[in-house]
């Protein structure tokens, strides 16, 4: 009797040489350029503005943008690795790279026409930060209950309304804004527009004071008869709902990467602390109960990383990934909450002090269950696909 050899698939967490080199480059950058400023940025609730130009210089803001437009022409998976490594040091810094790549750039790459791509992609790769403006006061999980309206004029559109919870709103120079051009059509009237910061009638409103990711700006946008050229309509009229849904599906993978980065940073800090902290005459890492906790956290982190990498690989391969993206965001955010909470406890009283890093990881993790689709919305998506 002969047995045919079965080819074992390459583990999802095994990186190619190129991917591994990229990861190390981003890690070195995060350690050298971001870590020294983490505490000060969190205290000030403000990104060190010297970092944004460095994100662009390193090529982190145009990872998927084609080389002809000034980007790297690389994969979505590399963007995922970058977000993970940045979040390992500071989730606030990571979210600037995350939203810019997974929402804004992806949106333009997929839905813009050639003229729009030629006009905006070089700027998005080179020096202009982007933001994604969907949410409103009455439009959260019900993303299409938009009140922001778009009125067609002779040679332009006028947008009127307010957007809330806009990540990177304070620093962005370019916004993908969603407004309803025909309320009689319900959500099928929603249209996407490419808006520049200096367009007449556009302004940035109040900045939110937040629990976590404090150095990342979250702002209101005010549109007062904001004039948008007709050539800045993104995609077909009335297809804004489709653009938003499909873009957010991709963005959820980015949030998953952010969450595993946060969990990784917290676990590394706690592991080191456990090796150094002594009680009853020996390092607490020598106690079996502590080892059990560390082992459980490492297992959950690896499982969460697999869901994120799987979704990113599927996206790059052009395969369906909506279910996998929802699972990745849901599970990684749950794991990040559990791990960061446990790490705070392992630090004991020190874990509750802002002099040690884990309390910040704990605060930063919470947002993962909320933005770009709450955990309940992810569960609903997963269940609907299961019931099909």
* Claim to verify: residue 214 and residue 136 sit in the same structural domain: yes
* Claim to verify: residue 114 and residue 145 sit in the same structural domain: no
> Would you state the pLDDT for residue 5?
47
pLDDT tens-digit profile of 117-135? 999 999 999 999 999 999 9
Q: Is 162 helix (H, G, I), strand (E, B) or coil?
A: strand
> Would you state the pLDDT for residue 12?
67
Q: Is 238 helix (H, G, I), strand (E, B) or coil?
A: coil
* Claim to verify: residue 27 and residue 118 sit in the same structural domain: yes
Of 128, 153, 186, the domain-final residue: 128
Which residues participate in catalysis according to the annotation? 372
> Would you state the pLDDT for residue 14?
82
pLDDT tens-digit profile of 230-265? 999 999 999 999 999 999 999 999 999 999 999 999
- Reported confidence tier of residue 11, pLDDT bands at 50, 70, 90: low
Phi and psi of 357, rounded to 5°?
-75, -20
* Claim to verify: residue 253 and residue 382 sit in the same structural domain: yes
- Please indicate, yes or no, if residue 145 is contained in any of the structural domains: yes
CB distance 373 to 252 below 8 Å: yes
pLDDT tens-digit profile of 39-68? 999 999 999 999 999 999 999 999 999 999
* Claim to verify: residue 263 and residue 201 sit in the same structural domain: no
- Please indicate, yes or no, if residue 368 is contained in any of the structural domains: yes
Q: How far apart are CA 40 and CA 21, in angstroms?
A: 29
Of 128, 162, 180, the domain-final residue: 128
* Claim to verify: residue 149 and residue 228 sit in the same structural domain: yes
Whether 10 has a pLDDT exceeding 70, the answer reads no
pTM (2 d.p.): 0.95
pLDDT tens-digit profile of 177-218? 999 999 999 999 999 999 999 999 999 999 999 999 999 999
* Claim to verify: residue 214 and residue 306 sit in the same structural domain: no
The b-or-e profile of 16-50 (16+ CB within 10 A means b, else e) is: eeebeebbebbbebbeebbeebbeebbeebbbbee
* Beta strands 130-133; 174-180: pairing state: parallel
Whether 141 has a pLDDT exceeding 90, the answer reads no
CA angle, residues 362, 372, 88, in degrees to nearest 5: 35
Number of domains in the chain: 3
- Residue % of the chain over a pLDDT of 90: 95
* Claim to verify: residue 114 and residue 203 sit in the same structural domain: no
- Please indicate, yes or no, if residue 344 is contained in any of the structural domains: yes
Whether 2 has a pLDDT exceeding 90, the answer reads no
Section 65-87 average pLDDT? 98
Task: Give, for 310, the enclosing helix (H) or strand (E).
Answer: helix 288-316
* Claim to verify: residue 168 and residue 288 sit in the same structural domain: no
Q: CB-based contacts of 369: which residues, under 8 Å, 6+ apart?
A: 333, 334, 337, 375
Specify the long-range contacts of residues 362-365, CB closer than 8 Å, at least 24 apart.
Answer: 362/266, 363/211, 363/212, 363/214, 364/87, 364/91, 364/92, 364/212, 364/213, 364/262, 364/340, 365/91, 365/212, 365/259, 365/262, 365/263, 365/266, 365/333, 365/336, 365/337, 365/339, 365/340
- Please indicate, yes or no, if residue 8 is contained in any of the structural domains: no
Section 306-323 average pLDDT? 97
* Claim to verify: residue 42 and residue 115 sit in the same structural domain: yes
CB distance 150 to 158 below 8 Å: yes
Evaluate the CA torsion angle 126, 163, 138, 47 in order and state its sign: positive
Q: Which of 107-111, 143-147, 361-365, 371-375 has the lowest mean pLDDT?
A: 143-147
Of 238, 271, 304, the domain-final residue: 238
Whether 1 has a pLDDT exceeding 50, the answer reads no
Whichever domain contains 40, its CATH number is: 1.10.540.10
Section 347-362 average pLDDT? 97
- Please indicate, yes or no, if residue 68 is contained in any of the structural domains: yes
* Claim to verify: residue 327 and residue 232 sit in the same structural domain: no
Averaged pLDDT score across all residues of the chain: 96
- Please indicate, yes or no, if residue 286 is contained in any of the structural domains: yes
Domain that holds residue 207: 131-238
Task: Give, for 87, the enclosing helix (H) or strand (E).
Answer: helix 76-89
Whether 315 has a pLDDT exceeding 80, the answer reads yes
* Claim to verify: residue 284 and residue 349 sit in the same structural domain: yes
């Amino acid at each position: 009797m002969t047995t045919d050899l079965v080819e074992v698939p390459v583990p999802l967490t095994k990186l190619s040489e190129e991917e591994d080199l990229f990861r190390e480059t981003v890690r070195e950058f995060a350690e050298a350029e971001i870590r020294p400023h983490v505490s000060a940025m969190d205290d000030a609730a403000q990104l060190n503005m010297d970092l944004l130009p460095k994100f662009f210089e390193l090529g982190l803001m145009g990872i998927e943008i084609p080389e002809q437009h000034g980007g790297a022409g690389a994969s979505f998976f590399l963007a995922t690795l970058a977000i993970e490594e940045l979040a390992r040091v500071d989730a606030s810094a990571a979210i600037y790279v995350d939203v810019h790549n997974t929402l804004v750039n992806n949106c333009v790459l997929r839905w813009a026409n050639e003229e729009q791509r030629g006009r905006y992609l070089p700027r998005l790769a080179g020096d202009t930060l982007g933001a994604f403006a969907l949410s409103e006061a009455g439009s959260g999980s019900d993303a299409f209950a938009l009140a922001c309206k778009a009125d067609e004029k002779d040679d332009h559109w006028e947008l009127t309304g307010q957007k809330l919870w806009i990540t990177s709103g304070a620093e962005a120079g370019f916004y993908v804004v969603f407004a309803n051009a025909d309320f009689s059509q319900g959500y099928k009237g929603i249209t996407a527009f490419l808006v520049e910061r200096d367009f007449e009638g556009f302004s940035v409103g109040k900045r939110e004071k937040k629990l976590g990711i404090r150095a990342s700006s979250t702002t209101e946008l005010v549109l007062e008869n904001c004039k948008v050229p007709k050539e800045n309509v993104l995609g077909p009229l009335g297809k804004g709902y489709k653009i938003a849904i499909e873009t957010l599906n991709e963005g959820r993978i980015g949030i998953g990467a952010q969450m595993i980065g946060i969990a990784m940073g917290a676990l590394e800090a706690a592991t080191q602390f456990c090796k150094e902290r002594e009680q009853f005459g020996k390092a607490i890492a020598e106690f079996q109960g502590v080892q059990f906790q560390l082992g459980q956290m490492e297992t959950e982190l690896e499982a969460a990383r697999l869901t994120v990498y799987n979704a990113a690989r599927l996206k790059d391969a052009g395969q369906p990934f909506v279910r996998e993206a929802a699972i990745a965001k849901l599970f990684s955010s749950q794991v990040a909450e559990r791990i960061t909470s446990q790490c705070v406890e392992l630090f004991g009283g020190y874990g509750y002090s802002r002099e040690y890093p884990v309390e910040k990881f704990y605060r930063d993790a919470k947002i993962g269950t909320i933005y770009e689709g709450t955990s309940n919305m992810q569960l609903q998506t997963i269940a609907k696909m299961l019931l099909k």
